[in-house]
Chains A and B, each alone.
Chain A
Amino acid sequence: MGMNDFWKLCIKNKSVTVPAIIIVSIMLLAVFAPMITQYDETRQDLLMRLVPPQSGHIFGTDELGRDVFTRILYGTRISLSIALFPTAIAVAVGTALGILSAYFGKWADFAIMRLADIMLSIPGMLLAMVVLYTFGGSLSSVYIALVLMEWGSVARVTRAAAEGILENDYVLAARAMGVRGYAIIFRHILPNLIPSIIVLFTVNIPSSILAESALSFLGIGIQPPKVSLGLMAGTSKQFLFQMPWLSLAPAGMIMLLSLSFNFLGDALRDVLDPKRRAV
């Protein structure tokens, strides 16, 4: 399947376009946050504390009088950066190791896969907590924690996929023509892995978003004055019964984001997998 066909199939498929449109609109909101809202995400207005939703403050304000809608937009920036960058790094590292494992086999395969097994045998959240306690709660340590959490499963999946590709006649044909080493990897394996990589990337994004939210909710992820959706839900949980919008609004955003990415990942898998594709 060429790239053009891929785009055509995606555009025709509503289960791809709908979540994609939602994700793009959320991205635009986050990017253009300063133009959309007149408030500053950290500016306190102690006279306007804990006001319920009203015009000017559509999700009300928090205990320090900060506009919740503004904070959600800025929090979404962090959630999106966490959704994209650590996941991309984890997928890149995992794919590279998975391909090397499949291509070289023998001891390289053994070493890489046992390492992946070890990482996968440690509960992800526990691993993330250890990293965050060791390096302190900052954006970069959240990145490190997420990459460590995710590369193993990516490596496993790409190794299996690459092994399947290596068995194909066209790889054999290329070898018979004298192609070897990196030429095989970059020209014959990697391009045919792209569909799997796209799917792996999109299905790993929601788990990154959720992991960051959970860590920040627990107070060990993103630290104030930085704002993240999980952190907002965490700090306003004390007002859950009196002023539910304070935690429900960021929680709703987390849900919308992760569900959209989840649906997008599933839909892309269906589009890219010729066996599942409805003709």
Chain B
Amino acid sequence: MSNTLLEIKNLTVSVEKAGRLTAIVKGVDIKVPQGKIVGLVGESGCGKSMTAKTINGILPTAAKITDGAVLWHGNPNTETDLARLSEQKLRKLCGSQIGMVFQEPMTSLNPMMRIGSQVSEALLIHKLVQNKKEARAKTIRLLDEVGIPEPELRYRSFPHELSGGMRQRVMIAMAVICEPKLLIADEPTTALDVTIEAQILKLIKKMCDAYSMSAIVITHNMGVVAQICDYVYVMYMGRIMERTTVKRLFERPLHPYTRGLLASIPRIGKNPEYLQTIPGNIPEIGKEIVGCEFCLRCSDDERACFFEKPMEREIEEGHFVRCHTA
């Protein structure tokens, strides 16, 4: 695959808890093709953020990569394993080639720094501009592009002077200022209200097209996936349960968990009294599960589900699922 930008191979991330290593991301494989948007879906605590944070090496100190590789094809014909890169080299690559948008726009901007210097910081650090004047011009142009009114005025604003949606636009500007090849968006719209969500998603899509970026969008919202993603990976308890194109997933969801997620999307006018849910809770992290991780909450379980881990199977072309019953 020459047009794969990023390939996560058998990635395992573990946290140390009371002297014991517990895997929270278990052998995840993800491929991000050039110029495509990949969605990573799953509920809270399923390891999707952890997976993303291994890419640019900002895992919390308690978490460690215990297996696998994160292969970066920044230039054709070269391959860099980000999981084994030194901190210094990784920082150089991040920001200039990989940008990241965070979930909480209220806390992901430094309250003591002006918007302008915050957005242009990466430009100056990676020496992508000759001088501060050039950085300023570029920053203002980009602020305008991400839809911030009066960018020259806003350049000198502090974060608390902006609304949540505006701040998320600033975050996006910050992430793409160096024209990275990959944008990681970690629940970019979770903290925003629905009308702003649509705008921000459109903006991410627009920026990806404009700069021919690839993106990984992490979300628990199938609606977000439907709106902007090309490929989707459904994650549950640190494992990829199903992966395919968005179109196929919505047409023919194979994994009971995916079906549950899709059924949980509230629809206007359709039995508004009752909100569809997936029964049960996520098992405690660190609890050893012999069979399929989802068996306890699954609607169509079989005997094998409890005793044997399902392997990933290709049901139709490009549609993989990890389930005994599918």
Contacts and interface: CB of A to CB of B under 8 A. Distances in A.
B100 to A, nearest CB: 4
Interface stretch (B64-72, B108-116, B130-138, B206-214): B108-116
Contacts of B88: 180
A179 B108 contact: no
B107 A170 contact: yes
Contacts of A176: 56, 58, 94-95, 98-100, 184
A177 B99 contact: yes
B3 interface: no
Contacts of B121: 174, 177, 179, 183, 187
Interface residues of B, number: 35
A174 to B, nearest CB: 7
Q: Pick the most buried of A2, A170, A172, A175: most chain B CB atoms within 10 A of its CB.
A: A170
A213 B58 CA distance: 50
A178 B102 contact: no
Interface residues of A, number: 22
A188 B160 contact: no
Interface in A176-202: 176-180, 183, 187-188, 191-192, 194
Contact of B107 (A2, A105, A169, A191): A169
A175 B107 contact: no
A118 interface: no
A168 interface: yes
Interface in A211-247: none
A173 B225 CA distance: 23
A1 interface: yes
B285 interface: no
B126 interface: yes
B91 A179 contact: yes
A178 B96 contact: yes
Contacts of B111: 1, 170, 192
Nearest to A167: B60
Contact of A178 (B95, B104, B110, B158): B95
Contacts of A188: 110, 113
B112 A192 contact: yes
A169 B104 contact: yes
B222 interface: no
A173 B109 contact: yes
A259 to B, nearest CB: 31
B313 interface: no
A172 B125 contact: no
A178 B108 contact: no
18 contacts: A1-B160, A2-B158, A2-B160, A169-B108, A170-B110, A171-B110, A172-B58, A175-B58, A176-B95, A176-B100, A177-B122, A177-B175, A178-B92, A178-B122, A178-B126, A179-B121, A179-B122, A194-B112
The 8 A-B residue pairs whose C-beta atoms are closest, nearest first, are A178-B95, A177-B95, A191-B112, A169-B108, A176-B100, A177-B122, A170-B110, A180-B91
Interface of A: 1-2, 105, 168-180, 183, 187-188, 191-192, 194
